Amino acid sequence: VSDFGGPPRLAEALLRRVVPSGWAGESLIADLEEEFHDRAVRARGAARAWYWRATVQLAWAYLWDGARRHRLIRRDTARPDRRLGRLPHGYRAGLLQDFHFAVRSFLRTPGFTLLCATTLALGIGSATAVFSVADTLLLRPLPFPHADRLVDLWSTRPAQGEQRNVVAGATYLDWERDARAFTLLAAYRTMDFNVTGDGFPERLPGVSITPGFFAALDVGPILGRLPSPGDGPAAARTVVLSDAVWQERYGADPSIIGRAMTIDGIPHTIVAVLPPGVTFPEKVGLYAPSPYRVPLTPMDDVDRSADRTAGYLRVIGRLAEGISLDAAQAEMSAVAARAPAAARDPDDPIGVAVIPAQEDLVGPLRPTLIVFLGAVGLLLLIACANVANLLTVRALRRRPELAVRMSLGAGPARIRRQLLTEAIVLALMGGVPGLLLAAWGTRILVSLAPEGIPRLSEASVDSRVLIVSLLVTLATGLLFGLAPTVGFSGRAPSLTLRAGRVRRQPGPELLRDTIVVTEVALALLLVVGAGLMLRTYRAVSTTDPGFDPSSVLVAHVALPASRYTDDATQAAFYEQTLASIRALPGVESAATILTLPMHWAIRGTFHFSVEGRTDPESGALAGYQVASTDYFKTLRIPLLQGRDIAEADQYDHPAVVVINEAMAQRYWPGENPLGQRITFWGDPDDPATTWATIVGVVGNTAKDGLDEPPEPEAYLPVRQVPMPRASIVVRTAGDPYGIADAVRRCLRDVDASLPLYGVLTMEDVVAESLAQRRFRMILLGVFAGAALLLTAVGLYGVISFSVGQRTREIGIRMALGATRDGVVRQVIREGLVRVAVGLAVGAAGSLALTRVIASQVFGVSVTDPITYACSALTLGMLALTACAVPAIRASRVDPALAVRDA
Amino acid sequence: MTQPLLLGTFEQLVLAAIMQVGDDAYPPPVLAWIERSTGRAINRGSFYVSLDRLERKGLLQSRPDPGGEGRGGRPRRYLTVTAAGVAALRHARSSLLASWAGIEHLLGEQP
């Protein structure tokens, strides 16, 4: 039976603590296990839930039963000790007494208890939520057997500083032939498929794969048979569905195997369905084995198996048993070095990088997660500091009580046990609401997070993470709960008793002050971090994207190569579609563009040559865009020089190009680029090369995100260089979504089998690019808010305790003529001195630590004085309020009473 | 012990179910019987605590019996109702029947 086969282990461990020892308890646990297995056959999840419920019921019943009987025994005066000794739960009953005493004493001081429990719940809850998400993303293995042996293989070009390149067809075949370190290698390429034939036309995310793909992942089907490594080209024209596509497009039809599905105009046979939740890479719906020895490219279906230059493949491998990552890396480096001499450039060698698949998938998220983990760690520290503080205060107050107990015969061990129990009870009081907060927080995190974070949807509160958080707070409780007993046992209880009240003692006071200073410093760190994120978000969201996103509808089409075989048919398609969209009522203008600004990160960057220029510019790079007429008008991108793309820029007319400002400035600084000629297509020395004349210069647009500097871009007319895919942009008079259906109908009239996908407004596109930042900002903001709250609580606790201790002193001062205002001022001053020290320490810490988030800050310096000043001010104001309440209370001391009590 | 102990409703259910299940009475089948006859899920905590309590009162006896399927070699706790338990059940039944006598029609039951 595997790990997952038995009842929840945590519950079982809990159960062992509460049931009677001996065979009766053993048999009880076995009973539950037996029932669990009966239930698990029907529904595993329900069985686990049932087991937990039964555990809670049993724990409650036995604790309660024990307590009840314990009380009965206490009433029995005859021979309590012997009766106790005969009880099966004798020792447990002693603990129960401690437990009841702890609960009663906490209930006697509801304010203190509420503060502690809230503090702990906030700390445990937020830490657990964030750790759970981080755990899912960074630590939990991919859902494949022995996922630790799954690796990604990349081409590298160390001379160019390129660490992870997609792999060329022939290179992959070399690896496949020569590599011995892997049980299997497989290549794949993600692309979108147009699905037609049965039902509605739809564009689904897919991958073109080699037949060994599933064997490398080591997954099995829930229906049908998966392609296997031996299938070779015989597997072509078959397709494997993900569970999601099977459910949504085919209503989970069990007789789906063998049915036909038309992909990009070519009939395929459905051969298998994958289990639920299995998808690799992320969010893929269709898996189609390639007709060639290497997968297809997204743009064409040419055989690339002899090509060594154009990289486009992703490669995965399964490490063979007993082969380490390093050994595999060494072997692959040797394989790369053996590549055919013709393909090798000694100055620019091509290598291989073998990287664990898990690391590749979530690696880019690491900086964000580390910031979150850091923030939440700080919050947990503050929460612990707070509890430590409150507990020290409480323990000091209890010295007289403890002294009484000791003089009545309780030994130091007994007292420690009592304090230990109290710490545990306190941790539980914070831990249970903390757990709820964690479950809730995880859900909120998942729902707030932007689209496209791999594996996030799998995140759930993890019991291991929860236990770690609980242990941390428990340890704090223990450490500071027991602190007052250190050195206590040796002292004669009578001294403490005689003193009657707590004297000011320098040791604990210093400890408390240190705690408060630390808290203020940590809180400042968080507030500054959140402030920087807030200012970054503002800076980014108010950056001009270079176009006007309001009232623009966007959508995408892709023309299958099987029917749109040449430039003329593609150009005609765009012509007709745009004509009918422009004729719709409410449409101001419409156009097509190859890649939308700020949309998918398809980096169409190409080399170009400038006519008449040789060496230095020969390696010039620019974004490659293909636009129809009216594109700049539709997105309101300003035309700075020359003219727009015109109707007359047809296939048989001289080639023209419009460039953006960044391109003009980079390649023609101080010159007029108009009239210059460039080419993207081939050898500048070849007289047959087509040269495009620069006829206009337009403003820059944000390419990926608003925070990235504009890059050179060249816009070529769609009628001269048609592309098989495009985004349609439509500027409307009213609500852009209002015409979405009409646009769909226009497309259907031109080609009924083409799906229109990704229908959004341009404003949505912009918002999506900000989603990551918004997520970070909100999260850090929440943490900072919680930190402020906790710090205020901590300060309040310390000041009110110190005031409470000095009631007599304050009374005497007032009797001697001190005014109320004077008392208030003095108390507040004492509080603010600590705050000021904390702020200074925090500011220094922030300056040192904000470098960590420097990469995520934009438009504002990490040492931005305004952010620092505002953060310190906020914290200072809050601290003032937290001190003012006890200060005012102190000023209401009746001098007569205070002096008499003394 | 002249007067049989008074039983709670749940205790009656438990003792009766043990007798109904008979030779094979260990907790899971007994629980299943009670859940079937009452149509309710039984709180595992109340059940096991009741077993201990009934045993302390001398109304039932339990003995360990080695193993069984899916129990990892751990014992079963076989349950038998003692003579005192039977007496208590009998007493409970007769007192209940006596208190119901003559009001069956009000309860909508056949006498």
CB contact under 8 A, B64 and A60: no
Lowest average pLDDT, out of A562-566, A575-579, A725-729, goes to: A562-566
Residues in chain A with CB shorter than 8 Å from the CB of B30 are: none
Return the pLDDT at A639: 93
Residue of B61, B74, B78 for testing the chain A interface, max A β-carbons within 10 Å: B74
CB contact under 8 A, B70 and A33: yes
Residues in chain A with CB shorter than 8 Å from the CB of B64 are: 23, 27
Strands (DSSP E) found in A546-617: 552-558, 587-593, 605-607, 609-610
Coil vs helix vs strand at A43? coil
Indicate whether A138 pLDDT > 70. no
Q: What is the mean pLDDT of residues A679-686?
A: 74
CA pair distance A38, A126, nearest whole angstrom? 37
Residues in chain B with CB shorter than 8 Å from the CB of A58 are: 44-45, 48
Return the pLDDT at A731: 94
CB contact under 8 A, B43 and A57: yes
Indicate whether A182 pLDDT > 70. yes
CB contact under 8 A, A37 and B62: no
Of B26, B31, B70, the CB nearest to A37: B70
Return the pLDDT at B75: 85
How many residue pairs bridge chain A and chain B with CB atoms within 8 Å of each other?
67
Tens digit of each residue's pLDDT (9 = 90 or more) over A475-511: 766 766 666 555 444 444 444 544 444 444 555 667 7
Indicate whether A590 pLDDT > 90. yes
Of B49, B69, B74, the CB nearest to A65: B49
Burial code (b: 16+ CB inside 10 Å, e: under 16) for A763-780 equals ebbbbebbebbbbbbbbb
Indicate whether A384 pLDDT > 70. yes
B66 touches chain A (CB under 8 A): no
Cβ pair A754, A557 in contact under 8 A: yes
CA distance A55 to chain B (A): 8
Between CA A808 and CA A812, with CA A809 as vertex, the angle to 5 degrees is 85
CB contact under 8 A, A61 and B62: no
Please give the backbone phi and psi of residue A696, each rounded to the nearest 5 degrees, phi first.
-160, 160
Q: Is A556 left (phi over 0), alpha (psi -120 to 50) or beta?
A: beta
Residues in chain B with CB shorter than 8 Å from the CB of A26 are: 74-75
Residue of B48, B54, B69, B77 for testing the chain A interface, max A β-carbons within 10 Å: B48
Radius of gyration of chain A (CA): 35
Return the pLDDT at A72: 47
- Return mean pLDDT, chain A: 79
CA distance A21 to chain B (A): 13
The residue type of A157 is R
Residues in chain A with CB shorter than 8 Å from the CB of B70 are: 33-34, 37
CA distance A75 to chain B (A): 19
Return the pLDDT at A638: 93
Return the pLDDT at B30: 94
Lowest average pLDDT, out of A20-29, A145-154, B33-42, B102-111, goes to: B102-111
Q: What is the mean pLDDT of residues A708-733?
A: 86
B46 touches chain A (CB under 8 A): yes
Indicate whether A340 pLDDT > 80. no
Return the pLDDT at A273: 92
Return the pLDDT at A84: 38
For A52, name the nearest residue in chain B, comparing CA atoms only.
B44
Q: What is the mean pLDDT of residues A102-106?
A: 80
Residue A139 in tokens: 């630590």
Residue of A14, A39, A56, A57 for testing the chain B interface, max B β-carbons within 10 Å: A57
CB contact under 8 A, B44 and A32: yes
Indicate whether A74 pLDDT > 50. no
B64 touches chain A (CB under 8 A): yes
Rounding to the nearest 10 degrees, give the CA dihedral for residues A120, A123, A125, A126: 170
CB contact under 8 A, B26 and A57: no
Q: Is the pLDDT higher at B7 or at A445?
A: B7
**For residue A189, what are the contacts with CB-CB under 8 A and spacing of at least 6?**
A207, A208, A295, A296, A297, A298, A312, A313, A314
Indicate whether A271 pLDDT > 90. yes
CA pair distance A209, A239, nearest whole angstrom? 10
* Burial class (CB within 10 angstroms; exposed 0-12, middle 13-18, buried 19+) of A555: buried
Indicate whether A579 pLDDT > 90. yes
Return the pLDDT at A200: 63
B108 touches chain A (CB under 8 A): no
Query: For A793-813, what is the HEC assignment?
Result: HHHHHHHHHHHHHCHHHHHHH
CA distance B106 to chain A (A): 37
Q: Is the pLDDT higher at A359 or at A330?
A: A330
Indicate whether A6 pLDDT > 90. no
* pLDDT band at residue A69 using 50, 70 and 90 as cut-offs: low
Residues in chain A with CB shorter than 8 Å from the CB of B44 are: 32, 54, 57-58, 61
CA pair distance A733, A737, nearest whole angstrom? 11
Tens digit of each residue's pLDDT (9 = 90 or more) over A687-701: 778 889 999 999 998
ipTM field:
0.89
CB contact under 8 A, A34 and B46: no
Residue of A16, A34, A68, A69 for testing the chain B interface, max B β-carbons within 10 Å: A34
Tens digit of each residue's pLDDT (9 = 90 or more) over A594-630: 888 876 544 455 667 888 776 554 557 777 788 999 9
Indicate whether A181 pLDDT > 80. yes
Cβ pair A316, A149 in contact under 8 A: no
Of A30, A61, A65, the CB nearest to B71: A30
The closest of A430, A388, A452, A412 to A794, measured between CA atoms, is A388
CA pair distance A27, B71, nearest whole angstrom? 8
Of A34, A54, A65, the CB nearest to B44: A54
Residues 6-45 of B with CB under 8 A from A: 26-28, 31, 43-45
CA distance A275 to chain B (A): 29
The closest of A771, A662, A758, A761 to A706, measured between CA atoms, is A771
Return the pLDDT at A80: 39
Residue of B34, B40, B50, B71 for testing the chain A interface, max A β-carbons within 10 Å: B71
B57 touches chain A (CB under 8 A): no
Q: What is the mean pLDDT of residues B69-86?
A: 84
Query: For A208-231, what is the HEC assignment?
Result: EECCCHHHHHCCCCCEECCCCHHH
Indicate whether B43 pLDDT > 80. yes
* Burial class (CB within 10 angstroms; exposed 0-12, middle 13-18, buried 19+) of A61: buried
B69 touches chain A (CB under 8 A): yes
CB contact under 8 A, A23 and B64: yes
Return the pLDDT at A643: 92
Residue of A1, A28, A87 for testing the chain B interface, max B β-carbons within 10 Å: A28
> For residue A281, is the peptide bond before it cis, meaning its omega torsion is within 30 degrees of 0?
yes
CB contact under 8 A, B45 and A60: yes
Indicate whether A704 pLDDT > 70. no
B71 touches chain A (CB under 8 A): yes
Between CA B56 and CA B64, with CA B61 as vertex, the angle to 5 degrees is 115
Residues in chain B with CB shorter than 8 Å from the CB of A19 are: 48
Return the pLDDT at A587: 92
Indicate whether A440 pLDDT > 70. yes
Percent of chain A with pLDDT over 90: 11
Indicate whether A168 pLDDT > 70. yes
* pLDDT band at residue A452 using 50, 70 and 90 as cut-offs: low
Indicate whether A83 pLDDT > 50. no
Residue of A31, A38, A73 for testing the chain B interface, max B β-carbons within 10 Å: A31
DSSP bridge partners of A625: A715
CB contact under 8 A, A30 and B62: no
pTM for this entry: 0.58
Residues in chain B with CB shorter than 8 Å from the CB of A34 are: 28, 68-71
Residues in chain B with CB shorter than 8 Å from the CB of A54 are: 44-45
Cβ pair A667, A660 in contact under 8 A: no
How many CB atoms are closer than 10 A to CB A331?
A: 18
Residue A290 in tokens: 């390639």
What residues in chain A have their Cβ under 8 A from chain B's Cβ atoms? 19-20, 23-24, 26-35, 37, 54, 57-62, 65
Return the pLDDT at A300: 64
The residue type of A667 is Y
Return the pLDDT at A113: 81
Return the pLDDT at B67: 66
Tens digit of each residue's pLDDT (9 = 90 or more) over A837-860: 999 998 988 888 777 777 777 778
Indicate whether B18 pLDDT > 90. yes
Q: Is the pLDDT higher at A462 or at A130?
A: A130
CA pair distance B54, B58, nearest whole angstrom? 6
Report strand pairing: A238-241 vs A286-289: antiparallel
CB contact under 8 A, A61 and B43: yes
Residues in chain B with CB shorter than 8 Å from the CB of A28 are: 27, 48, 77
Indicate whether A68 pLDDT > 70. no
Return the pLDDT at A140: 66
Indicate whether A722 pLDDT > 60. yes
CA pair distance A316, A190, nearest whole angstrom? 13
